[in-house]
Chains A and B, each alone.
Chain A
Amino acid sequence: MFDYETIRVIWWVLIGVVGIAFALTEGFDFGIGTLLPFIGKTDLERRVIINTVGATWEGNQVWLVLLGGAIFAIWPAVYATLFSGLYAAMLLVLFALFFRPAGFDYRSKLENPGWRNAWDWALFLGGTLPPVLIGVLVGNLILGLPFHLDQDLRTFYDGSFWALLSPFALLCGVTGLLLTTFHGALFLKWRSEDVIHDRAVLAVEFLGPMLIAALSAVMLWVFIGIDRPEITQMAGTGAPSNPLHKTVVGNGAGWIEHFMQYPWMWSAPLAGLGGFAMAWWMGKGESRMGAFLFSSVGIVGIALSVGFALFPFLLISSTDPKSSLTLWDASSSHSTMVLAFWITVIFLPIVLLYTRFVYRIIWGSVTEAAVLKDSHTLY
């Protein structure tokens, strides 16, 4: 039905869709975790904040799990290289995520204030560390990772954890955190009233300009200060997946040239910056849903910017350019991709439908009175 080249492009788009869904939904969950100890002063206020995402964070987290599973299925070599190469970083993300299920579910099961306070900080870590680390990871995707493949296609990582923390990558980490926190503040503003609502607006007002400044700095740095590799010869876009069947030079035409080559790609970074600017502008005022939607446009724009910038690369090797993985030579087999495509085409709409149903059922502002009324059932 689809030739190999087409299905490879389709899956590049679909994995983008899953990644964007993860950033949009888990993004505000992370942000709520980061904001929790600061916006919530009393136990009751904190319970209000937690319960704005209490019924839905678990479903949102599946986008992350699915992102991992989809990369495993569609780009096995990427999954293998990324997860084993960035071993310590991946485990830190995982350990940080450990704080969340127990944090949400166990926190309000005991009355003890020390217990509850400890879980609040656990939720803070669980919401703060992952976006920082994922930001650092995205920075390193642009910079390229030090890895090579041997003739059996076994992947070897030639760097260390600390080498990931370059100034550029750290800037990306800070940007990631600003992004989720800003997005989370807008979500909280949407679903709360009174004092928490007001504090969320303050956070939006404060974080917006910082986020836009950080994003601009990242973009400028990419366009001016980082080399972009270039494929000089490859087996073909429909050839069997073997990354070693190509030649790549480490510094080809730059990132600006890449965007110039496909001018429509500029729409992505513009949507990113523009979306967040609008979200900030509207978020300072009365807008609830509108501001959140613009923040979502911003996230989509930024995610697309990263995808477009790397295309056709998935993982750039900084030490052995020909080992770089691209969507043409790191994918699974044709039939597996088609199979996974049909599974996705059937289940993606179903998942979206029932997720929408759940959000509709639980939707509405969470108030202190509501938390007190259901004190023994709510988080």
Chain B
Amino acid sequence: MFGDDIVMLSRMQFGLTALYHFLFVPLTLGMTFILGIMESVYVMTGKEVYKDMTKFWGKLFGINFAMGVTTGLTLEFQFGTNWAYYSHYVGDIFGPLLAAEGWMAFFLESTFVGLFFFGWDKLSKTQHLVVTWLLAVGTSLSALWILIANGWMQHPVGAEFNYETLRMEMTSFADVFFNPVAQVKFVHTVAAGYVTGSMFVLGISSWYLLNKRDIGFARRSFSIASAFGLASILSVIVLGDESGYTSGETQKIKLAAIESEWETHPAPASFTVLGFPDQQNEKTDFAIKIPYVLGLIATRSIDEDVKGLKDLREESVQRIKNGMLAYGELQKLRAGDTDPATKQAFDARKADLGYGLLLKKYTDNVVDADAATVAKAANDTIPKVAPLFWTFRIMVACGFTMLFIFAMSFYYCATRVADQKRWLMRMAVWCIPLPWIAAETGWFVAEFGRQPWTISGILPTHMSVSSLSADQLWFSIGGFALFYTVLLIIEMYLMLKYVRLGPSSLHTGRYCFEQTAAAH
């Protein structure tokens, strides 16, 4: 229907702008909570150093937050500009979730962020603390709503197709809200954000400690980050395992692709640790497997099997054939057929309508597709395995490395010898990028793994795009590339500058550069 180039460019733009936005979001999620913790300690103990910590880490948070706001605007616009048919088709479900995010989250965080920075002398201690926590709650609520929206794209529940309006409509808000995929995703993602904030504070504090500057300030920041980070990384890993379980229920194909599981093996399935997926010949070379583990993760049992990609593709063939019939009945209904039998037949098959739409990529006349075309469409339902296989393993490796760092840091903090473990602090500095790598690869697994759908089983990606030309897309991609590159350079420059300055940037007269200046 649309040229592949339009679909490809639209996906590229969405992927790049979303991944870019996701560079700033996790840090915002984590930093607001860490600021809340630091300020709570300040209010409880009255020690000025905790106030300075809140202010200094708050400065770094502010530099990051501005970019989060900038790049978040893009996403609000982009569903409409680039995914117009998607917006029409699922706006009834997706739209209210975004609007709820606006009412409950965006207003909260954006209204109180100004007061967080400028309200120190205008509010009482407790009032300011409440403001900081409201900011933190606001950012996490924002994640809640957008992940309910995303969870619905992964596992669409509580909605059905309406042939009169030619779109999906919400049938149960409760089902959408309590979608198990969404709930797990939410906790997994916000906890990943808390890990990002913790790793950021831990790494930078380690750098101050290694350079023997602002010791008291850095040591306190280090311990808060190690405790909060350990709790967070544990939730990420436990909930990550939980999302393996839920995706076993609802997104079998994604799981099978992550595991490069081509065939259905007798239960319990073994887990492929490493190997080389070979898409062409549909096998995995040099696979190293651990028996039982995949079956346990995906089905929480040892007697259910985990379906392989080839069998899943066979299921797609059946659903596509059913979808062709549903599409034929929809055409009749649309043309004004009022026979209840047609409506009944359509209702019986409409769950597979989306599979019929997969054929639109190859033929406008969905109803008379031949077996070869059906086979091609069915093959599309199997994502490219290698990228999913590897990004997933990178994410997991980053997660476990951070678990090690936080566990050691926490242990040495508890035994009060953390300052002497220079190897650990060096490792913490070098590992600052890990949470970002994990977050970006995790996002990739979730979204690339959903292909060829924007809404799993409901709406194919190639149907979702706007009616645009390649020129228009190149214009926008060029604009984003230009703005985002310049802004990123500026942001990194400021961030590094303020990290180097450290708490001296607060001009309190208590920190390292100010003391040397005073001594001269």
Contact = CB atoms under 8 A, between A and B. Distances in A.
Interface of A: 54-59, 61-62, 65-66, 68-70, 72-74, 76-77, 79-84, 87-88, 90-91, 94-95, 97-98, 101-102, 104-106, 109-110, 151-157, 240-242, 332-333, 335-336, 339-340, 343-344, 347-348, 351, 354-355, 358, 361-362, 374, 376-378
5 contacts: A58-B114, A104-B66, A154-B88, A332-B95, A358-B111
Contacts of B76: 65, 68-69
B111 A72 contact: no
A377 B507 CA distance: 10
A68 B95 CA distance: 9
Given A83-B84, A336-B96, A374-B118, 19 more contacts: A55-B115, A58-B69, A61-B69, A65-B106, A66-B102, A72-B99, A73-B95, A77-B88, A84-B84, A84-B467, A151-B334, A152-B166, A153-B166, A154-B85, A155-B467, A240-B162, A335-B171, A361-B115, A376-B505
Q: Which of B98, B102, B487 has the most CB of A within 10 A?
A: B102
Given A65-B76, A66-B106, A336-B93, A105 B62 contact: yes
Contacts of B430: none
Nearest to B72: A65
B73 interface: yes
Given A84-B81, A102-B490, A358 B115 contact: yes
A347 B107 CA distance: 10
Contact of B80 (A79, A152, A333, A335): A79
Nearest to A103: B66
Which 9 residue pairs are nearest across A and B when measured between Cβ atoms?
A: A76-B91, A83-B80, A73-B95, A55-B114, A84-B84, A84-B466, A59-B111, A347-B103, A72-B95
B70 A80 contact: no
B167 A97 contact: no
A376 B76 CA distance: 33
Contact of A347 (B104, B166, B507): B104
A377 B117 contact: yes
Given A87-B468, A98-B483, A343-B100, A362 B118 contact: yes
Contact of A101 (B70, B114, B122, B164): B70
Contacts of A332: 91-92, 95-96, 169
A51 to B, nearest CB: 8
A102 B117 contact: no
Given A91-B476, A106-B490, A333-B170, A69 B98 contact: yes
Nearest to B55: A377
B112 to A, nearest CB: 7
Nearest to A57: B114
Contacts of B497: 110
Nearest to B62: A105
Given A74-B95, A240-B162, A336-B92, A79 B87 contact: yes
Nearest to B169: A333
Given A62-B106, A102-B487, A80 B69 contact: no
Q: Give the most central of B73, B84, B100, B167: most A CB within 10 Å.
A: B84
A68 B93 CA distance: 15
Interface string B453-493: 00000000000001110001001100100010001001100
A62 B104 CA distance: 11
B99 A69 contact: yes
Contacts of B115: 55, 358, 361-362
A70 B102 CA distance: 9
A157 B85 CA distance: 13
A335 B103 contact: no
Contacts of B118: 54-55, 362, 374, 377-378
B165 interface: yes
Interface in B172-209: 173
Contacts of A335: 169-171, 173
B261 interface: no
Contacts of B479: 91, 95
B46 interface: no
A373 B93 CA distance: 50
A95 B74 CA distance: 9
A90 B87 CA distance: 16
Given A88-B472, A90-B81, A339-B96, A362 B119 contact: yes
A79 B171 CA distance: 22
Given A79-B80, A351-B103, A377-B120, A362 B70 contact: no
A89 to B, nearest CB: 10
A300 B170 CA distance: 34
A151 B115 CA distance: 51
B96 A80 contact: no
B98 A362 contact: no
Contact of A72 (B87, B119, B506): B87
Contacts of B164: 240, 242
B479 to A, nearest CB: 6
Nearest to B123: A361
A240 B467 CA distance: 25
B79 A91 contact: no
A258 B365 CA distance: 44
Nearest to A333: B169
A62 B114 CA distance: 13
A72 B91 contact: yes
B147 to A, nearest CB: 16
Contacts of A336: 92-93, 95-96, 169-170
Given A91-B479, A343-B100, A362-B118, A105 B95 contact: no
B345 interface: no
Contacts of B101: 69
A153 B88 contact: yes
B82 interface: yes
A54 B121 CA distance: 16
B188 to A, nearest CB: 24
A97 B115 CA distance: 22
A139 to B, nearest CB: 20
Nearest to A158: B467
Contact of B114 (A77, A362, A376): A362
A106 B374 CA distance: 55
A355 B134 CA distance: 13
Given A80-B87, A90-B81, A156 B73 contact: no
A141 to B, nearest CB: 16
Contact of B103 (A61, A348, A354): A348
A87 B67 contact: no
A348 B104 CA distance: 9
Contacts of A242: 164-166
Nearest to A79: B80
Interface in B59-78: 62-63, 65-67, 69-70, 73-74, 76-77
Contacts of A59: 107, 110-111, 114
B113 interface: yes
B449 to A, nearest CB: 25
A358 B110 CA distance: 11
Nearest to B122: A361
B94 interface: yes
B110 A80 contact: no
